[in-house]
Amino acid sequence: MFKRLLFLLLLVSAIFLIYAPGIHGPFIFDDLPNILHNSLLRIQTLDYSSLTSSATSGSAGPLKRPVAMLSFALNYYFASGFEALAFKISNVIIHSLCAILFFILCIQLRKLSALCKQEIAPPSQTFYLAAAACLLWAVHPINLTSVLYVVQRMTSLSALFSLGCLSTYIAARNNLIKHNLTSRNAGLLLASLSCLILALYSKENAALVPLIIIWLELTLFPNSSLLTRFSELPQSTRRVIYTSIAILFTLVLFVLINYASNGYASRPFNIQERTLTELRVVSFYLLLILIPRIDAFGLFHDDIALSTSLITPWSTLSSAIFLLVLMSTVFVFKKKNPLYAFGLGWFFIGHLLESSFFPLEIAHEHRNYFPFIGLMLAITALIPDKYAQNKKFFSAAFILVLILGATTYLRAVQWGNYQRLAYFEAEHHPDSPAIQALLSNAAFQKGDFETATTAINKAMILSPDETAFSLHYQNILAISKKTIPHQVQQDTLKKIRNNIVSPSTELALDQISGCLIKPICKPLIKNYIEWLDELIKKKPKQSYFHYLIGKAHRASSNYALALNSFQRSHELDKQYLHPLFEMAGIFLSLGQLDQVELIIGWIEEKNKASEFRRPKELKRLKTMLENAKQQASDNPLPPT
């Protein structure tokens, strides 16, 4: 027991030491809309209303990920603000807990594997092999974005609860073999189910955990009573069951593909291109894990070329063959080395959602966080127990931990500063449009307008169909007090008309809208309104676009058009309360307090039924109204 506690202490210490340089870095990219700009996370009390409002304030995924969103709100509350350091330390703690659970799970699985082979797992060898697997996973640089990229807490929290689900399930399953169903087993199964629910509401990837459990049953519980009874069924009955499963699988696959197809409207690739490209991407992930070159890692991997067929590029076919051969080893070693089969199966199951036909971005390193645990189990399963206390094993493990830890440490140093991160990312991925945009933004914040302009121009060349880069380019020109050429605006409008409205474009519009009220961005208002006019022609029922053009009209003091736009925005989406607050702000500035009271009544009524309630903003608006009334009574207008 002392040995295990000492190892866990060293494990957590190593994790904090390696990630220490990166915890002082800022919020970046998706952190901004999901966390920093989410007013519902700014809770002041831990009452039920505040907690539920913050938990349901997410927009990512079909389940909105309330567990992760609640954790962000609690971070805000206990840190007294959006302090990036507090959020990143919390992520490091979650990563440490995942590593501890992986260690526990690894010991459980190695014991199961030994039983499966009718062997006895030597405690000492089991400990050392589990410790090696856990430590190598914990310090590997591919996990860095899941730790230092704050919003990816969704990934690490889901992994944490998924590990808890698997560990408690195995404990319950072992007890069921020995004692049948007892209150202890029932409690463990309930705990496992609770962990699965928490994992699902952290990120939807946890929907794959039941498949991993089924694979666990097939590989490490092959002699269970359920499987034995199934094998004893008449052949005709088994055929009916197999046929039913095949039909169900086909129907589910058809529904999922149909669902996924609807999401490609905002992507620069189609379902075939993404599915084929993912063959190369998964192979690329394996290369990153096995040969962790620091210049190969990155925040974005949009410099990966799309596969348009199995032979274009040729590496698509070679990747497909490689993955098929690798998957076939699962069945070859299923009886001889069940832990290897289980671990490798876990890796491939873990990639079924994010590395298949769903309309997500092509590649992200954080997608390996949970699947990599399975791969690490498979790799260490290839090491015979007798070598676990060998000096060569210790030496090799120590050297690998040093190499991986040093690489992660160097990456953490880069992540500790926004400008440094952008410059290193651009050096490692010069052909990534998103990285060039990141470099442009970092240089822009530093006041280096020349580098900012050069980088955003390169991003536009690398990705000519991405409208967001053209919007950012105009924003840079405006703030650097340069004239925006007429042709630049015409080219931007042409892109808006002809290209898809990507999430990056919507994010750029949102960011620029916040600048319009500043004097330095006033020259951009006319162009901004023209952008929104084109977008509204394309998507006339998109509430958000009417809201944004309303903000632009308000910034230009054209209050009549602003009010019309905000009213139209709210009519299109009754749950969207932002336009009502903007309308109240206009009437407040005009001194029309009766209108403000009327809108407050609307907000109170809508707030009850809204999915995204805004009690704090409503309270603030009421306070502003009372102050305005008090000021009006203290300074009455002279009689006319």
Q: What is the pLDDT of residues 5-42, one digit of tens each?
A: 999 999 999 999 999 999 999 999 899 889 998 888 99
pLDDT band at residue 544, thresholds of 50, 70 and 90?
very high
pLDDT in the model for residue 380 = 95
> What would the mean pLDDT of 255-281 be, rounded to a whole number?
92
> What would the mean pLDDT of 542-558 be, rounded to a whole number?
95
- What DSSP designation does 65 have? -
In angstroms, the CA 137 to CA 177 distance is 31
Check pLDDT > 70 for residue 73: yes
pLDDT in the model for residue 290 = 96
pLDDT in the model for residue 351 = 98
pLDDT in the model for residue 366 = 98
> What would the mean pLDDT of 448-462 be, rounded to a whole number?
96
In angstroms, the CA 635 to CA 281 distance is 68
pTM (global) more than 0.85: yes
pLDDT band at residue 101, thresholds of 50, 70 and 90?
very high
> What would the mean pLDDT of 370-398 be, rounded to a whole number?
90
Check pLDDT > 80 for residue 502: yes
Check pLDDT > 70 for residue 226: no
> What would the mean pLDDT of 97-111 be, rounded to a whole number?
97
pLDDT above 90 covers a percentage of the chain that reads 73
Neighbours of 428 (CB within 10 A): 18
Judge residue 4's burial from the number of C-beta atoms within 10 Å of its C-beta, 0-12 exposed, 13-18 middle, 19 or more buried: middle
- Asked if the bond preceding 313 is cis, omega within 30° of 0, the reply is yes
Check pLDDT > 90 for residue 174: no
- Contact yes or no for 525/545 (Cβ under 8 A): no
Least confident of 1-15, 494-508, 585-599, 602-616: 602-616
Neighbours of 96 (CB within 10 A): 20
pLDDT in the model for residue 178 = 75
- Contact yes or no for 397/268 (Cβ under 8 A): no
Check pLDDT > 90 for residue 389: no
In angstroms, the CA 133 to CA 131 distance is 6
HSE-CB of 169 using CA atoms within 13 angstroms:
21
pLDDT in the model for residue 227 = 62
- Written as one letter, the residue type at 31 is D
Neighbours of 378 (CB within 10 A): 24
Check pLDDT > 70 for residue 592: yes
Helix (DSSP H) and strand (DSSP E) numbers for the chain = 29, 0
Output 606 or 29, whichever has higher pLDDT. 29
In angstroms, the CA 479 to CA 303 distance is 29
Q: Please give the mean pLDDT across all residues of the chain.
A: 92
> What would the mean pLDDT of 305-328 be, rounded to a whole number?
97
39, 125, 597 from 624: Cα distances, Å: 18, 68, 11
Closest by CA position to 394, among listed 72, 52, 132, 119: 132
Check pLDDT > 90 for residue 95: yes
Write out the two tokens for 365.
Answer: 């390193």
> What would the mean pLDDT of 601-605 be, rounded to a whole number?
87
pLDDT band at residue 538, thresholds of 50, 70 and 90?
very high
Indicate the helix (H) or strand (E) that contains 247: helix 235-261
The size of the chain, in residues, is 640
Least confident of 34-43, 325-334, 337-346: 34-43
In angstroms, the CA 434 to CA 389 distance is 47
Closest by CA position to 410, among listed 293, 581, 574, 317: 293
- Written as one letter, the residue type at 207 is A
Q: State which of 238-247, 316-325, 382-391 shows the largest mean pLDDT.
A: 316-325
pLDDT above 70 covers a percentage of the chain that reads 97
Closest by CA position to 51, among listed 31, 71, 78: 71
Write out the two tokens for 531.
Answer: 């952008």
Closest by CA position to 478, among listed 516, 531, 426: 516
Check pLDDT > 90 for residue 274: yes
360, 408, 459, 505 from 469: Cα distances, Å: 20, 31, 7, 8
204-213 pLDDT, tens digit each: 999 999 999 9
pLDDT in the model for residue 59 = 86
The residues, ordered by sequence, that sit 6+ positions from 275 with a Cβ below 8 Å of its Cβ are 356, 357
416-433 pLDDT, tens digit each: 999 999 999 999 999 999
In angstroms, the CA 169 to CA 189 distance is 6
